[in-house]
Amino acid sequence: MVGTRAAWLGGKEVVEVEFDPELLPYAKLLSCAEQVPGRSTVFAHDAAQLAAARTVVGARAERVPGAASPAKAADRKYYLRQSAWWWVPMTALQAQRANALLGAKRDPAPVFSPEQRALLGRITARRHQIAAALRGLEPARSAEQFDSYRARLELVLRAAPAGGAERRG
């Protein structure tokens, strides 16, 4: 698989999957997708895909009714956005996997490195003290962004009072 994108198609929420058929045949992709809870319609782009989809998923296969509309930013990575994991710098693939695990009510920790899990612990320990500062940060989702984001996050974490103590004016 090359990538995914949340979108809307024909009034339905969909996940567009970009894949290389040389590496992952369409029928194999569909077989894997069948293992994901909550799936419904499978949209096919051409007659060959539609025939393959009907073989794997039966009547749930349909021809694409038009162009998909990208999902709003707030709808992307919904489960990840609702968790403290959101603030941990991660790759796009880690974000995708973590979001799926959280949506399935499973622990996403195995997707992350020990360093990322330790950082989550630091964020969680001070989340109430740094909540306002976190809202001003856009988490890193690519390797090029990691260093600058991590530096800004460290400043936020260092500025927070230690041990959960709250500052009083």
Per-residue pLDDT, 163:
56
**Residue where one domain finishes, among candidates 70, 93, 113:** 70
Residues 96, 138 share a domain: yes
CA 80 from chain center: how many Å?
6
Output 88 or 165, whichever has higher pLDDT. Answer: 88
- Arithmetic mean of pLDDT, 111-128: 93
- 133 and 66 in one domain? no
Per the CB < 8 A criterion, the answer to whether 7 and 19 are in contact is no
Residue 103 lies in a domain: yes
DSSP 31: H
**Which pLDDT value is given to residue 70?**
73
The whole-number pLDDT of residue 162 equals 64
113-119, Cβ contacts within 8 angstroms, sequence gap of 24 or more: 116/88, 116/89, 116/90, 119/88, 119/89, 119/153
Same-domain status, 65 and 108:
no
On whether the CB atoms of residues 111 and 95 are closer than 8 A, the answer is no
87 and 39 in one domain?
no
In the chain, what percentage of residues exceed pLDDT 70?
88
The distance of Cα 163 from the centroid of its chain, to the nearest Å, equals 31
Mean pLDDT to the nearest integer, 102-118: 92
Examine the domain organization and report whether 63 and 117 are in the same domain: no
Q: Are residues 43 and 100 in the same domain?
A: no
Is the same domain home to 65 and 84? no
Does residue 54 share a domain with residue 101?
Answer: no
Among 28-32, 37-41, 55-59, 119-123, where is mean pLDDT lowest? 37-41
Q: Output the average pLDDT for the chain.
A: 83
pLDDT at 74: 61
Given 21, 44, 70, the domain boundary residue is: 70
What secondary structure letter does DSSP report for 2? -
pLDDT score of 116 more than 90: yes
pLDDT at residue number 118: 95
Who contacts 163 (Cβ-Cβ below 8 Å, separation ≥6)?
none
Domain that holds residue 149: 77-164
- What average pLDDT score do residues 28-49 get? 81
Greatest mean pLDDT among 33-42, 46-55, 67-76 lies in 46-55
Domain count of the fold of the chain = 2
The answer on pLDDT for 165 being more than 70 is no
Same domain as 145, residue 85: yes
Residue 73 phi/psi, 5° resolution?
-55, -40
**Position 118 in a domain:** yes
Task: Tell me, yes or no, whether 115 lies in a domain.
Answer: yes
Question: Is residue 169 in some structural domain?
Answer: no
Residues 6+ apart with CB under 8 A from 41: 12, 14, 60, 61, 62
Q: Residues in the chain, how many?
A: 169
